[in-house]
């Protein structure tokens, strides 16, 4: 929805994965185990047709059981390049880091799920309080970010969520 509200030449979504996981995905691809085209296999009940990807998915553990076994952190961020309000090139990275052991202990949810859920909860609170107002379908980019960031970072004891965020000013390419 961002290009509907922002004068942006390009908006993309990227998701970073670790080298080990990327290696597994490449191996599955090389073996055609990511294919959705059914192949004939022998089973105890005779030949059946099954997509290799479905076999891989059936062999994996239930994702709901993985949270307690996961260690590490996840970083959700937005990298923006363009022109600042002063007319000069500007590049910033706005991010939030979440620790899986903490989210499991506090919310019994793994960090990616928790981090995804936090944003609409904060947004709904701002809408309910009348801090954000609008009509129709509006994404978060329509609203002033400062109240969102303030509520997210405000300590829980003060009615916030206690979630620090970071903003890095970067040197624009070609500067």
CB 66 within 8 A of CB 110: yes
The verdict on 95 and 157 lying in the same domain is yes
- The whole-number pLDDT of residue 15 equals 77
Are residues 48 and 79 both part of a single domain? no
Look at strands 46-50 and 73-83 and give their pairing.
unpaired
Q: What is the mean pLDDT of the chain?
A: 90
138 belongs to a structural domain = yes
Residue closest to 111 by CA, chosen among 83, 70, 139? 70
- Is residue 150 domain-resident? yes
- In terms of domains, do 156 and 74 share one? yes
Residue 32: inside a domain = yes
Handedness of CA 150, 119, 114, 16 (dihedral sign): negative
Among the residue ranges 4-18, 55-69, 95-109, the one predicted with the least confidence is: 4-18
- State whether 71 and 138 are in the same domain: yes
| pLDDT value for 151 | 97
3 domain residue, yes or no? no
Please indicate, yes or no, whether residues 109 and 49 belong to a single structural domain of this protein. Answer: no
> pLDDT at position 18, please?
83
Question: Cα(112)–Cα(26) distance, rounded to whole angstroms?
Answer: 23
Residue 7 has pLDDT above 80, yes or no: no
Number of structural domains (the chain) is 2
Residue 31 and residue 99 in one domain: no
CA distances to 20, 144, 167 from 148, in Å: 35, 8, 14
Q: Which of 8-12, 50-54, 73-77, 81-85 has the lowest mean pLDDT?
A: 8-12
CA-CA distance, 78 to 124, in Å (whole number)? Answer: 21
Question: Are 71 and 47 found together in one domain?
Answer: no
Q: Whole-angstrom Cα distance, residue 153 to residue 160?
A: 7
- Whether 108 and 35 map to the same domain: the answer is no
pLDDT digits 0-9 by tens, 85-144:
899 999 999 999 999 999 999 999 999 889 999 999 999 999 999 999 988 888 888 899
Judge if 113 and 163 occupy the same domain.
yes
- Whether the full predicted model's pTM is greater than 0.95, yes or no, is no
Please check whether residues 160 and 141 belong to one and the same domain.
Answer: yes
**Does 7 fall in a domain?**
no
The answer to the question of residue 25 being in a domain is yes
Whether residues 43 and 114 fall in one domain: no
Boundaries of domain holding 128? 67-170
83, 114: one domain: yes
SS (H, E, C) the chain: CHHHHCCCCCCCCCCCCCHHHHHHHHHHHHCCCCCCCCEEEEECCEEEEECHHHHHHHHCCCHHHCHHHCCCEEEEEEEEEEECCCCCEEEEEEEEEEEHHHHHHHHCCCHHHHHHHHHHHHHHHHHHCCCCCCCCCCCHHHCCHHHHHHHHHCCHHHCCCCCCCEEEEECCCCC
d(CA 110, CA 67): 5
């Amino acid at each position: 929805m961002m290009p509907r509200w922002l004068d942006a030449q390009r908006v993309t979504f990227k998701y970073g994965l670790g080298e080990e996981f990327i290696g597994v995905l490449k191996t599955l691809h090389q073996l055609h185990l990511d294919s959705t085209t059914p192949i004939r296999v022998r089973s105890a009940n005779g030949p059946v047709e099954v997509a290799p990807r479905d076999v891989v998915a059936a062999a994996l553990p239930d994702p709901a059981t993985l949270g307690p076994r996961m260690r590490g952190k996840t970083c959700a961020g937005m990298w923006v390049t363009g022109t600042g309000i002063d007319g000069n090139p500007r590049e910033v990275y706005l991010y939030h880091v979440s620790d899986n052991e903490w989210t499991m202990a506090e919310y019994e949810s793994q960090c990616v799920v928790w981090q995804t859920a936090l944003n609409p909860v904060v947004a709904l609170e701002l809408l309910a309080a009348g801090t954000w107002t609008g009509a129709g379908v509006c994404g978060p980019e329509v609203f002033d970010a400062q109240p969102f960031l303030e509520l997210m970072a405000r300590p829980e004891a003060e009615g916030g969520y206690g979630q620090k965020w970071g903003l890095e000013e970067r040197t624009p390419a070609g500067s």
